[in-house]
Amino acid sequence: MDADEVEGGAGIGVGLSRRTLLALGATGLGAAGLGAVLAPWARAGASGSSAPAGAPAVRATRSAGVAGPITPGGLAAFVDALPVPPTVATRWITTIDAAPATKHSTWRFHSSLPPTAKTWGYGGLPYLGPTLQATAGRPFNLLVTNKLGAHPFASSMLSTPICMIGVKNEDATSPRLSTHLHGAVTEPFSDGHPEDTILPGQTKEHYFDDFFEAKMLWYHDHALGITRLNVAAGLAGVVLVRDTYDTGTALNPLGLPSGKWELPLILQDKLLDTKTGDQIYPSSPRILEFFGDQPVVNGAVAPRLAVDRGVYRFRVLNASNARYYRVRLATEGGGTAPTMYAIGGDHGLLDAPAAIPNLLIAPGERYDVLVDFSALPAGARVRLTNDAATPFPDGGSDTTPLGTSTAIVDVMQFVVGTSAGFQGVPRKLRGGWSKPSTLPAVPAKGIARTVTLQEVDDPNVPGGDPIVVLNNMLWDTPTPDAMQQGTTEIWSIVNATVDAHPIHLHLAQFRILDRRPFDVDAYLAQPNKPPLGTRWNPPAAAFLTGVAKPAGPAESGWKDTVVTYPGEVTRIAVVVPSRRDLGFDPDAAFTNQAGKPLRGYAWHCHILEHEDCDMMVPLLVTKAGPTGL
């Protein structure tokens, strides 16, 4: 059975054989019901699925030579239905092995391409992983076995230390794997430390028990030096945490859409070989940031979704290597666009829905949004469009290595049917009966910490492209930053580069205080700057030049990843948990499977090419006082 047989016609996405379905059952997906695997992968709104009544057909394919929207990479947009990863409830032992697509489980990014793309996936899927549904208060063990073979991007591996840290020749044929549950509060041994990697045939067990409130997390590979390649190959998936308020069922007390009206949207961008269907990652030894020419949502190029005339809840993740998306809704042919509401971010719900004209989402960020299609007539078509420059915010990388444009405008399309669907947008999400407590005030005081983002010459390529470093340090720094358990720190993130960087902290959560411009040239011209590898993070207060801007409505809740704009100081209030808060020692040492002693966590830029290129440093959480301030 291939993808065509599953759908009843040629189509995008996955083909699952009986053999693969049996394998899913054996590896941990099965007990939730094998039928649950087929139904979501039949494509939302596709033939044989629960397409809204009256919605125009979404199964037709159109060659790139026929009039209609075309992606910058030359594929017809809006011809394929949106794939939806299967949802699997976590159990005490949950298994999501990482493995390549096979002839029994294949993937194609577009219906005009061959269904033989060389991709990786978790949990028996050929690309991406299942949506794991966890429950607050119920811990689970996640077992991941490395079943990977030769790397799809083997030609992009490096055997010399040109920027990409930790890369080994063996990664081309026996790639390392480290699974990180992004946003989880977990002990160091389970965090997916970049050096806590496993080789093909090895298994790693992670323990997660910090799910106190509903939120959206995601899991992805985090292996030192090859994260950019492993994630691009397909090693990423969503985790939805439910609680007694945000239950994910029709009877949830918050009045939020559920079932077919709640869908993940995993945003990426790709370069594709239109003859083989394979992904392309340039083999140059130095890619500053990867930008593709194909918008990809849930593994499909510019898909479309048939929707009811009601409210949808979209759980949006930017799993791109480097691309920011700034998306908005536009009704084709003019007319009023449906309203988009932000209702949550990285770590749960806001106090109330906030109507927003657009949504900026950086790599690594998650947003919880509602879109209200109820005022649109049947047959209306709405585009999700993007206007974020590459790199963000000022551009400069206008063409791909293939010579195509990096300017992705049309991301996906919604086609409105006749059914009423889910109705109503709640007034409040927190506070009061049958709701979680309101968000606390943002801490205004704490231990002051200045961290710097700056461009420096690559020590391995004199006169070549610069690298971006944190505090003038490298990954193998002998004096890592340390935060004291049970404290609050006020981080001033000084971005002296020309790009926006999404900064991610492991373990600790934070709230955004404000952003303020500063004099970059004067700041960098300070005397006595030490050589690369020695900490340099002088305070920036004397160089501030403008008015502080508060966090935007969508980003006002708890976060683990923050956009830091060029020429600005971004302040965040970081709540550092104590051992008593956590129930474990966040400073506990452990040993990886190669026998190397490890300790602590990391903080880094979530542009994956930057992360793999030393824009990541260790982060300790100790009982002793803080260091590196």
Q: Indicate if the pLDDT at residue 121 is higher than 50.
A: yes
Structure tokens given for 41: 């992968």
Q: Which helix (H) or strand (E) holds 610?
A: helix 608-611
What was the pLDDT predicted at 97? 94
pLDDT in tens, 153-183: 998 876 455 567 888 889 999 999 999 999 9
Percent of the chain whose predicted confidence (pLDDT) is above 70: 87
**Which of 130-144, 225-239, 263-277, 465-479 has the lowest average pLDDT?**
465-479
Task: Provide the CA 361 distance to its chain's centre, in angstroms.
Answer: 9
What was the pLDDT predicted at 356? 98
Local confidence band at 113 (pLDDT 50, 70, 90 cut-offs)? very high
Sheet order of strands, 601-605 included: 481-484, 616-622, 601-605, 501-505, 561-564
Length of the chain measured in residues: 629
**Which of 96-110, 152-166, 464-478 has the lowest average pLDDT?**
152-166
Q: From 2.40.10.10, 2.60.120.10, 2.60.40.420, 3.30.460.80, which CATH number describes the 447-622 domain?
A: 2.60.40.420
Local confidence band at 9 (pLDDT 50, 70, 90 cut-offs)? very low
Query: How high is the mean pLDDT of the chain?
Result: 88
Measured CA to CA, the distance from residue 305 to residue 82 in angstroms comes to: 6
What was the pLDDT predicted at 384? 98
What was the pLDDT predicted at 459? 76
Span 501-511, average pLDDT? 97
Q: Indicate if the pLDDT at residue 26 is higher than 60.
A: no
Burial class (CB in 10 A: 0-12, 13-18, 19+), 63: exposed
Structure tokens given for 173: 């044929």
What was the pLDDT predicted at 104? 66
CB atoms within 10 A of CB 444: 10
Buried b (16+ CB within 10 A) or exposed e, 560-574: bbbbbbbbbbbbbbb
The one-character DSSP state at 575 is E
Measured CA to CA, the distance from residue 52 to residue 41 in angstroms comes to: 17
What was the pLDDT predicted at 84? 97
CB atoms within 10 A of CB 35: 9
Give the residue among 614, 109, 606, 617 at the shortest CA–CA distance from 322: 606
Span 508-533, average pLDDT? 96
Structure tokens given for 221: 């590979």
Q: Indicate if the pLDDT at residue 25 is higher than 50.
A: no
CATH architecture of the domain 3-416 equals Sandwich (2.60)
Span 85-102, average pLDDT? 93
Residue owning tokens 């971006």? 468
Q: Indicate if the pLDDT at residue 298 is higher than 90.
A: yes
**Phi, psi of 243, deg, nearest 5:** -140, -170
Q: Indicate if the pLDDT at residue 231 is higher than 80.
A: yes
What was the pLDDT predicted at 211? 76
Span 206-224, average pLDDT? 92
Measured CA to CA, the distance from residue 471 to residue 458 in angstroms comes to: 15
The one-character DSSP state at 300 is E
Measured CA to CA, the distance from residue 276 to residue 117 in angstroms comes to: 7
What is the DSSP annotation of 202-247? -EEEEEE----S-EEEEEEE--TTTHHHHHHHT-EEEEEEE-SSS-
Going along 381-500, which residue ranges are E strands?
381-386, 410-416, 447-457, 466-470, 481-484, 488-495
Span 87-109, average pLDDT? 89
Q: Indicate if the pLDDT at residue 362 is higher than 70.
A: yes
Report the DSSP beta bridge partners of residue 105: 16, 102
Span 278-303, average pLDDT? 91
Comparison of pLDDT for 460 and 229, the residue scoring more: 229
**Phi, psi of 25, deg, nearest 5:** -65, -40
Measured CA to CA, the distance from residue 251 to residue 262 in angstroms comes to: 14
What was the pLDDT predicted at 462? 72
What was the pLDDT predicted at 162? 56
Contacts of 521 (CB under 8 A, 6+ apart): none
What was the pLDDT predicted at 38? 29
What was the pLDDT predicted at 43? 54
pLDDT in tens, 584-603: 999 999 999 999 999 999 99
Local confidence band at 48 (pLDDT 50, 70, 90 cut-offs)? very low
**Which of 154-163, 170-179, 280-289, 474-483 has the lowest average pLDDT?**
154-163
Q: Are 58 and 64 in contact (CB under 8 A)?
A: no
Q: Are 369 and 357 in contact (CB under 8 A)?
A: no
Measured CA to CA, the distance from residue 160 to residue 438 in angstroms comes to: 51
pLDDT in tens, 438-457: 999 999 999 999 999 999 98
Residue owning tokens 């009877």? 251
Buried b (16+ CB within 10 A) or exposed e, 591-628: ebeeeeebbbbbbbbbbbbbbbbbbbbbbbbbeeebeb
CB atoms within 10 A of CB 176: 26
Q: Are 232 and 615 in contact (CB under 8 A)?
A: no
Report the DSSP beta bridge partners of residue 382: 331, 414
pLDDT in tens, 261-273: 999 999 999 999 9
Local confidence band at 4 (pLDDT 50, 70, 90 cut-offs)? very low
What was the pLDDT predicted at 157? 79
**Which of 52-61, 89-98, 609-618 has the lowest average pLDDT?**
52-61
pLDDT in tens, 387-403: 999 999 999 999 999 99
What was the pLDDT predicted at 158? 62
Q: Are 10 and 111 in contact (CB under 8 A)?
A: yes
Local confidence band at 20 (pLDDT 50, 70, 90 cut-offs)? very low
Percent of the chain whose predicted confidence (pLDDT) is above 90: 80
User: Which residues make up the CATH 2.60.40.420 domain(s) of the chain?
Assistant: 3-416, 447-622
Cα Rg of the chain, angstroms = 23
pLDDT in tens, 409-441: 999 999 999 999 999 999 999 998 899 999 999
What was the pLDDT predicted at 482? 96
Local confidence band at 458 (pLDDT 50, 70, 90 cut-offs)? confident
Determine the longest span between alpha carbons in the chain, in angstroms: 69
Measured CA to CA, the distance from residue 208 to residue 380 in angstroms comes to: 44
- CA distances, 333 to each of 249, 337, 509 (Å): 36, 11, 43
Measured CA to CA, the distance from residue 517 to residue 321 in angstroms comes to: 27
**Phi, psi of 521, deg, nearest 5:** -60, -45
Local confidence band at 351 (pLDDT 50, 70, 90 cut-offs)? very high
